[in-house]
């Protein structure tokens, strides 16, 4: 009898151990099937195994072709530039916005609702809005003509289809500042107010309270938000495809053109670029995490 009870207790304990994974299985199943499955398929095709077009042997030739292509470094640098600049601006301004919302205590006000609107707006809609405002034939250009600041639309700065990618960066920043603010504000508002009050009693200024109390304690959420923003910006396709220059293309746009090429032998090249994007993004996120890990340990 005692043995049966022990077996039953072990079975219950085992089920309790599995319960979180059972709850997560639907979401994890989708991720495994569509993401991991797609990654493995792309990896196989990038190695030259693509029977549908007559490629039956594994080879690294396609990797050599991509990595030795002069376009590779140009495309990689351009993609990193867009991702790094938009991430840095979004992280700084998003953190400042989160702190401003915390100080003004606007939990139930219309402002706390309005700042979240860009999160719900699709990137293509955001692109259309900003192009309508900032293009050389847009609202701002026409306003400057009316006020006499410029004489014709060509005098207005070009934000789109330029190598500086200012239009693309503006779109990403407009979208991602509220996202960063939303993640950081959720942590900031849970930081115990007594910490700031103690610092204030020690004659710390508001800036010192923010820099030495609020900011360090919020750093894990800030890092998490910036990593997500960077990974998205690095691998994004639609905005660079619509508003980027013809050369250099971002990595994702280069992969797309290789994939839709009439020459089916370009398909493995597209898969190589996709694998390189995935690996570079993963490595950069890992390096970013490891470089901040030492700093974060000081606040554990």
Identify whether the C-beta of residue 267 lies closer than 8 Å to the C-beta of residue 53.
yes
Helix axes 215-235 and 267-297, enclosed angle (nearest 10): 170
Residues in the chain, total: 300
pLDDT value for 90: 94
Q: Mind listing the pLDDT tens digit of every residue in the chain (300 residues)? A: 555 555 666 666 666 677 777 777 777 777 777 777 778 888 888 888 888 778 788 888 888 988 888 888 899 999 999 999 999 999 999 998 888 887 775 555 666 677 777 888 888 888 888 888 888 888 888 888 888 888 888 888 888 888 888 999 999 999 999 999 888 888 888 775 656 566 666 656 667 777 777 787 788 888 888 888 988 899 888 899 989 888 889 999 999 998 888 888 888 889 999 998 888 888 877 877 776 666 556 555
pLDDT value for 168: 92
Give the residue from 67, 85, 87 showing the smallest Cα distance to 276: 67
**Tokens standing for residue 87:** 């991430």
pLDDT value for 154: 81
Q: Side-chain half-sphere of 125: how many Cα atoms within 13 Å? A: 7
pLDDT value for 222: 86
Helix ranges restricted to H, the chain: 2-30, 37-46, 61-67, 70-104, 110-114, 117-120, 123-134, 139-146, 166-188, 193-201, 206-209, 215-235, 238-243, 251-259, 267-297
**DSSP classification of residue 249:** P
Paired residues of 49 in beta bridges: 56
Identify whether the C-beta of residue 298 lies closer than 8 Å to the C-beta of residue 69.
no
Dist. CA 181–CA 177, nearest whole Å: 6
pLDDT value for 33: 74
Classify residue 3 by burial, with Cβ atoms within 10 Å: 0-12, 13-18, 19+. Answer: exposed
Dist. CA 56–CA 64, nearest whole Å: 18
Dist. CA 275–CA 217, nearest whole Å: 36
**DSSP classification of residue 94:** H
pLDDT value for 55: 79
Dist. CA 39–CA 107, nearest whole Å: 42
Task: Using CA atoms of 102, 106, 111, 113 in order, give the dihedral in degrees to the nearest 10.
Answer: 90
Identify whether the C-beta of residue 217 lies closer than 8 Å to the C-beta of residue 299.
yes
Q: Which residues contact 269 (CB under 8 A, 6 or more apart)?
A: 62, 65, 66, 258
**Tokens standing for residue 240:** 């660079």
Please state the domain extents for the chain: 70-297
CATH of 70-297, one of 3.90.1310.10, 3.40.50.300, 3.40.50.150, 1.10.3720.10: 1.10.3720.10
Dist. CA 296–CA 298, nearest whole Å: 5
pLDDT value for 196: 59
């Amino acid at each position: 009898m005692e043995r049966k009870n022990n077996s039953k207790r072990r079975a219950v304990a085992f089920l309790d151990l599995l319960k979180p994974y059972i709850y997560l299985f639907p979401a994890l199943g989708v991720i495994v099937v569509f993401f991991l499955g797609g990654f493995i398929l792309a990896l196989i095709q990038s190695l030259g195994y693509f029977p549908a077009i007559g490629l039956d042997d594994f080879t690294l030739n396609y990797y050599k072709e991509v990595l030795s292509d002069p376009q590779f470094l140009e495309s990689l640098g351009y993609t990193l530039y867009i991702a790094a600049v938009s991430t840095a601006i979004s992280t700084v301004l998003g953190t400042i916005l989160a702190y401003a919302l915390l100080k003004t205590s606007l939990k139930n006000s219309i402002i706390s609702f309005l700042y979240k609107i860009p999160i719900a707006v699709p990137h293509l809609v955001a692109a259309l809005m900003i192009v309508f405002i900032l293009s050389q034939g847009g609202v701002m250009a026409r306003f400057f003509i009316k006020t006499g600041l410029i004489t014709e639309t060509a005098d207005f700065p070009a934000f789109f289809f330029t190598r500086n990618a200012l239009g693309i960066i503006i779109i990403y920043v407009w979208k991602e500042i509220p996202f960063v603010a939303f993640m950081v504000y959720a942590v900031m508002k849970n930081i115990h107010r007594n910490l700031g009050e103690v610092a204030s009693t020690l004659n710390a200024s508001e800036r010192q309270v923010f820099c030495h109390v609020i900011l360090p304690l919020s750093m894990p959420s800030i890092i998490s938000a910036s990593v997500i923003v960077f990974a998205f910006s690095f691998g994004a396709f639609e905005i660079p495809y619509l508003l980027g220059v013809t050369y250099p293309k971002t990595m994702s746009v280069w992969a797309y053109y290789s994939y839709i090429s009439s020459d089916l032998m370009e398909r493995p090249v597209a898969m190589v670029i996709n694998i390189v994007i995935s690996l570079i993004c993963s490595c950069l996120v890992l390096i970013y995490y490891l470089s901040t890990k030492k700093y974060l340990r000081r606040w554990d």
